[in-house]
């Protein structure tokens, strides 16, 4: 270990170094890499070289299982280096959708995850977590301060800065997307609706649009997460069949792969814009200033 202890520092993991460095730059504080060593049995050793009074751990937690334990090790390491306060900035937060037991015998993963991570940190900041039944972060994560940032704000700022046609119709691809479609559209002065979705399987989805005139209008589909992309494709097809002039999409968390990206293009969806909450080729909206504002 070298160097003096710092007042505040951002600690980033290898796969998200660009985003973590951007946050450190906005905060005007040092950036340190979290070093990971993987043993043959897939155990991971975490090493941190320098301490800070306020340690800000930065890591999106998609593909979460190994990452969560590595974050806990990092939190333990900075605490051992005499950190007074540890904040986890997790732009994407996992295990939030299973917020109730839908079928007997299922694990309540949201509660389990909260119990695992909460003892190691003092604060948690994320963007658009799944809060459909548990409406506050404090009700989920015991004993820590939680902040759930809106993805509508940075996405709306992005489109406002680049211009968007005033007759654009904003569509949330299912009923649960109203929480992001409405504030996004209102910030831009646009009309908005939510689609009706019927899911028959992960890749078998029927989307219908009701009650809006789409003929000749550009459509922008907005959602918090795109994974398989089937909901977005179904929504785009319904919009184009109803006469939409064009279809584009915006998303907070881009989890989809190259195959889905090709399917979007084939379905006439272009462009697709995402925040950098998860490193992805579609990233266009930088979240660092919003995290910095939340950190104070």
The yes/no answer on whether domain 6-149 falls in CATH 3.40.50.2020 is yes
Spell out the domain ranges in the chain.
Answer: 6-149, 152-285
Q: Please compute the mean of the pLDDT values over residues 59-71 and round it to a whole number.
A: 96
CA pair distance 75, 288, nearest whole angstrom = 21
Classify domain 152-285 by CATH number: 3.40.50.2020
Average pLDDT, the chain: 92
**pLDDT band with cut points at 50, 70 and 90 for residue 227:** very high
Confirm if 36 and 59 have CB atoms less than 8 A apart: no
Taking CB atoms within 8 Å and a gap of at least 24, the contacts of 193-196 are 193/169, 195/171, 195/235, 195/238
Name residue, tokens 């979460």.
Answer: 64
DSSP state, 15? G
pLDDT digits (tens, 9 = 90+) for 72-104: 999 999 999 999 999 999 999 999 988 888 889
Q: What's the pTM value of the predicted model, to 2 decimals?
A: 0.92
pLDDT digits (tens, 9 = 90+) for 104-128: 999 999 999 999 999 999 999 999 9
| Per-residue three-class SS string for 237-278 | HHHHHCCCCEEEEEEEEECCCHHHHHHHHHCCEEEEEEECCC
Q: Which residues of 269-292 are buried (b: 16+ CB within 10 A; e: fewer)?
A: beebbbbbbbebebbebbbbebbb
Assess whether the region 6-149 and the region 152-285 belong to the same CATH fold: yes
Confirm if 285 and 275 have CB atoms less than 8 A apart: yes
Whole-number pLDDT of residue 83: 96
**pLDDT band with cut points at 50, 70 and 90 for residue 200:** low
Whole-number pLDDT of residue 288: 98
Whole-number pLDDT of residue 54: 97
């Amino acid at each position: 270990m070298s160097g003096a202890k710092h007042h505040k520092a951002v600690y980033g993991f290898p796969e998200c170094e660009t985003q973590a460095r951007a946050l450190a730059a906005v905060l005007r504080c040092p950036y340190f890499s979290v070093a990971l060593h993987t043993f043959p049995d897939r155990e991971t050793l975490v090493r941190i070289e320098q301490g800070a009074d306020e340690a800000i751990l930065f890591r999106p937690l998609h593909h979460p299982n190994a990452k969560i334990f590595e974050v806990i090790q990092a939190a333990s390491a900075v605490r051992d280096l005499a950190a007074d306060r540890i904040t986890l900035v997790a732009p994407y937060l996992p295990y939030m959708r299973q917020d109730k037991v839908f079928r007997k015998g299922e694990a309540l993963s949201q509660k389990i995850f909260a119990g695992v991570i909460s003892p190691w940190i003092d604060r948690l900041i994320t963007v658009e977590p799944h809060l459909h039944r548990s409406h506050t972060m404090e009700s989920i994560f015991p004993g820590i301060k939680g902040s759930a940032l809106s993805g509508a704000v940075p996405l709306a700022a992005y489109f406002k800065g680049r211009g968007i046609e005033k007759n654009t119709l904003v569509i949330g691809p299912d009923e649960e997307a109203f929480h992001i479609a409405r504030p996004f559209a209102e910030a831009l002065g646009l009309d908005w609706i939510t689609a009706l979705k019927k899911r028959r399987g992960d890749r078998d989805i029927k989307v219908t649009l009701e009650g809006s005139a789409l003929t000749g209008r550009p459509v922008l589909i907005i959602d918090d997460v795109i994974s398989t992309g089937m909901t977005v494709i179904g929504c785009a097809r319904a919009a184009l069949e109803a006469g939409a002039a064009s279809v584009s999409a915006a998303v907070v968390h881009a989890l989809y792969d190259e195959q889905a990206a090709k399917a979007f293009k084939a379905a006439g969806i272009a462009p697709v814009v995402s925040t950098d909450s998860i490193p992805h080729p579609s990233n266009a909206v930088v979240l660092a200033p919003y995290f910095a504002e939340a950190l104070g």
